[in-house]
Structure 1
Amino acid sequence: MTDAEIRDADDVERHPCPRCGVQPGSPCRARSGAVAGTYHTGRFTQVPRLAKMLRVPTPVDRGPGQPWRPGTPPPVAPRSDGPAADIRIGYARCSTLRQELQPQLDALAAYGIPRDKIFSEKISTRVRLRPQFEAALATAREIKAHAPHCRVIVTVYEMKRLGRDGAELTAIADHLAAHGLALEMLAGPLAGIYDPAGHGRILFAFFAALAETERDSIREGTLEGLDAAARQGKHGGRPPVITEDMLHTVLRRQAAGEKVEAIAQDLVIASGKRRGQSPSVASVYRALAAHAKASAYPDAVEAARAEFAGL
């Protein structure tokens, strides 16, 4: 029997067992009335360092297999009147792949948050379900459930890392407060721990509305830029597989009686991931269909005008 086994048993027996109902200070009890050979799962998982173990054996000095007798309850530790310890869960987010998370991660780590308690992701605030943010909240709630006397704080670099929608930000703050969790921001106009009561709530709602306004301004500017580029003939997205030159080649050879399947094998894609390869027959047919539609549109407009003029 090792010292580690005795230490594990002592830590487990500080908790009551939800399965067999024994109180702190006693080993688990089997259905036969004897001391169980291992502690029940619902009991040893209350010890954080043993939570992922498959089984925790009962030490020999507890008499596994012997008739169960209640042990001596451990002394109750005196409750301190001082402030409870703070446990922080960090969250970092940016919207696009071109943005960098590292400055936020460095700021959270420099603030003393362990790397294994920092959750991060690259995802837009327009996406309602953010997996890493949900994982951060779940971790914070779990820690609070196991350490109710500690203050569990969800820490972000600034408010807009949580979101840019005013209603969503307010809902997140209310969710944290309802679960006994605190919200903390390292930078921005509300740097510090958010107070959901009194003036703190009013200020939070005000700056949440500003964050939403900023997001709308960014979106409006982006759309205006796209419209201006489109008017200049610049369109985003991938370049077309079938270029104008390739389409003319297809039309000329098709008019000479060649089949599209044979023509497609002689074409070569000039750019993109499939550069140097031949386009698929379906791509050629789609380009032909789009050309036919575009060519027929002016004729249809002229026919409609002529019909309208004759009325």
Structure 2
Amino acid sequence: MSAVGYARVSTSDQNPEAQTDALRQAGCERIFVDHASGVKASRPQLDAALDYVRAGDVLTVWRLDRLGRSLPHLIEVVQGLGGRGVEFRSLTEEIDTTTPTGRLLFHVAGAFAQFERDLVRERTHAGLAAARARGHVGGRPTVMTPERLRQAERMREDGQTIEQIAGVLGVGRSSVSRALSRVQSPPSS
């Protein structure tokens, strides 16, 4: 079993030494360090650390927020590690999935993350339903204004292709195609 460390500081001006010292003290033989904001999806050293660890290894961080962009992301990363036989340890929060208590704590955190996602989804659906009930339609406004649609219909009758019409109107082919198909086969009530 090998302890592998991961540290992250938000900017290149910040110093990761406090984290790396704690990781070395915890027995990490190899430490990967990113200089990137936690919200950035691209963290090359995290990717390298995840590629480096093998079954039986323990990925160790100084604090949970150094690893995950969000709680759902953190859960996803740690579950991915677990699926590969790699354990996880956070020094500050004392979460250690090599122990039954650590696994329990992590699963409780995961349950709260899932609960939060479900609540957000529920509120979003309720908000969209309320907006529809008030007559609001979501999404972007169509680029095919009534004038453009009339011009597209005339051009189509003159034998122009969808690509030619789209070029003249300055819109995408799919917008022209969708608009013309709705006119040719109006929705049934």
Shorter-normalised TM range: 0.5 to 0.7
SS in 2 for 1:138: helix
Q: Is the contact made by 1:170 and 1:208 (CA closer than 8 Å) also made in structure 2?
A: no
Instruction: For 2:145, give the aligned amino acid.
Output: T
Answering whether residue 41 of structure 2 is matched by residue 122 of structure 1, we say yes
Corresponding residue of 1:184: 90
Aligned mates of 1:183, 1:241 — CA distance in 2: 51
Q: Which structure carries more helix by proportion?
A: 2
Aligned mates of 2:75, 2:32 — CA distance in 1: 30
SS in 2 for 1:294: coil
Corresponding residue of 1:55: none
- Alpha carbons of 1:185 and 1:267: their partners in 2 closer, same or farther (altered >3 Å)? farther
Aligned residues: percent identity? 23
- Alpha carbons of 1:111 and 1:258: their partners in 2 closer, same or farther (altered >3 Å)? same
Match runs of 1:175-254 below 5 Å:
178-179=85-86, 182-184=88-90, 191-194=93-96, 196-231=98-133, 232-237=135-140, 239-251=141-153, 253=154
Instruction: For 1:225, give the aligned amino acid.
Output: G
Corresponding residue of 2:182: 290
If you compute each CA radius of gyration, which structure gives the higher value, 1 or 2? 1
Aligned mates of 2:166, 2:59 — CA distance in 1: 64
Q: Is the contact made by 1:158 and 1:185 (CA closer than 8 Å) also made in structure 2?
A: no
Residue deviations 1:222-253, cap 9 Å, x none? Answer: 3333333444333224x4332223213444x4
Aligned mates of 1:152, 1:292 — CA distance in 2: 59
Higher relative contact order (CA 8 A, sep 6+): 2
- Alpha carbons of 1:240 and 1:259: their partners in 2 closer, same or farther (altered >3 Å)? same
**1:152, CA displacement in angstroms?**
5.8
Answering whether residue 60 of structure 2 is matched by residue 153 of structure 1, we say yes
Answering whether residue 165 of structure 2 is matched by residue 264 of structure 1, we say yes
Aligned mates of 1:171, 1:266 — CA distance in 2: 48
What do you get for the CA RMSD once the two structures are aligned? 4.9
Instruction: For 1:117, give the aligned amino acid.
Output: V
- Alpha carbons of 1:113 and 1:254: their partners in 2 closer, same or farther (altered >3 Å)? same
